[in-house]
Amino acid sequence: MSDSSKPFDRLDYLYKLLVVITLSIVAVILAHDIFIPLAFAALLSIVMLPFVKRMEKRGIPSAIAITIVILITIVILVLVIWMVVNQVINLINDLPDLQVRVEDFINQMSRMARKDLNISRTEQNKMVSEAMQNIRSNLGDVLITTTSTISTLIQIPIYIFLFLIYRNKFKNFFIDFLPGKTEFMWKKDIERVVQGYVSGLMLVTVIIATLNTVGLLILGINHAIFFGVLSGMLTIIPYIGITIGALLPLLMALITKDSLWYAVGVIGVFSTVQFLEGNFIGPRITGSRVSINALAAIMALVIGGKILGIAGMILAVPSIGAMKVLLSHSPHLKSFVILLEDKPYIAPVPLDEPIPEVPPEQKNEAAAND
């Protein structure tokens, strides 16, 4: 019996696929410093591709078109960073006044600890000393992480340029590697998912930043624009980014305001925005473009965070969206799409079942309505 006549063994196929996935995850973990800039560059290359194609159609050479798109992107990022730095400078200018308020806040917390929690001054000093020691011990790791981040940011534009300039080579490779595949339907689907997710994420970031800024301005929190924009930018870390962004304005409210109700107000603002983002804004903008259910998204975030940390959490949702596209075009694995998509499952009608006939009176009624 020839190999082509053998029945398809789904369990054997899944076993081999699981081995390949496991080895791939191990390789990503061991070479994460190489994989992370490549992954971000691939993601951004897909986003920039339509702009490059438009410029190429106008007769601009590919290398020049790609360079222009990358430079425009860098300029936009520099402007955003300049705005953030400008706000940070304003915050630093207020440090003398903030220092006095911080000392008053610490003394107030110290009195409350002695009075309500029976923690003596000696015990408090010991706790502060241990906390400072932990900060000093972790300072080296922070510096190493910062250096690694700068190195990654330098590599990404280079990889983007190379991915875009050699994109036809990748296409020809797949055509040659997979005989008979002259066109890949999944290629356009993946581009649509990634481009839709990134553009939707940018829109969500602007909306979240605006809502948080308006809420903080109404409360009268100092540097509300900076904290609002920062919290919006942190939404690129799904689910937990906006929570991290709430810590600084909460601390500012505790230090600069005489009443705890301002801190409660900050918590209320960010909780409301988090609720709107998780239930209405995110699902309608980014969720509709990736079409991934909440369970799949959360599992992707957990696994991505476990493998690559924050970078893995950022890459998790577009990666699971691309995976869903690949699974949907696989005749042996398309059943797994049911577990990932957020649309209700519609069971196919067996071909051997007869289609029920419509009674004549219903036909006449339908014709009369038409």
- 45 & 155 share domain: yes
- 209 & 158 share domain: no
Residue 203 has pLDDT above 90, yes or no: no
- pLDDT tens digit string along 237-276? 766 777 788 888 888 887 777 788 888 898 899 989 888 8
pLDDT band at 106 (very low <50, low <70, confident <90, very high): low
The DSSP call for residue 280 is I
- What was the pLDDT predicted at 182? 46
- 155 & 231 share domain: no
- 318 & 220 share domain: yes
Max avg pLDDT among 99-113, 209-223, 278-292, 310-324? 209-223
- 289 & 200 share domain: yes
The greatest distance separating any two alpha carbons of the chain, rounded to the nearest whole angstrom, comes to 92
- 75 & 14 share domain: yes
- 109 & 222 share domain: no
- 97 & 160 share domain: yes
- 210 & 329 share domain: yes
- pLDDT tens digit string along 71-82? 999 998 888 888
Is 186 among the domain residues? no
Q: Which domain holds residue 285?
A: 195-343
How many domains in the chain? 2
Spell out the alpha helix ranges (H) of the chain. 10-30, 32-57, 62-93, 95-116, 121-165, 167-177, 185-219, 224-233, 241-256, 261-276, 282, 288-290, 294-308, 310-328, 337-340, 360-369
- 110 & 234 share domain: no
Number of Cβ within a 10 Å radius of residue 39: 21
Is 137 among the domain residues? no
- pLDDT tens digit string along 266-291? 889 998 988 888 777 776 777 667 77
**pLDDT > 70: percent of the chain:** 69
- 156 & 227 share domain: no
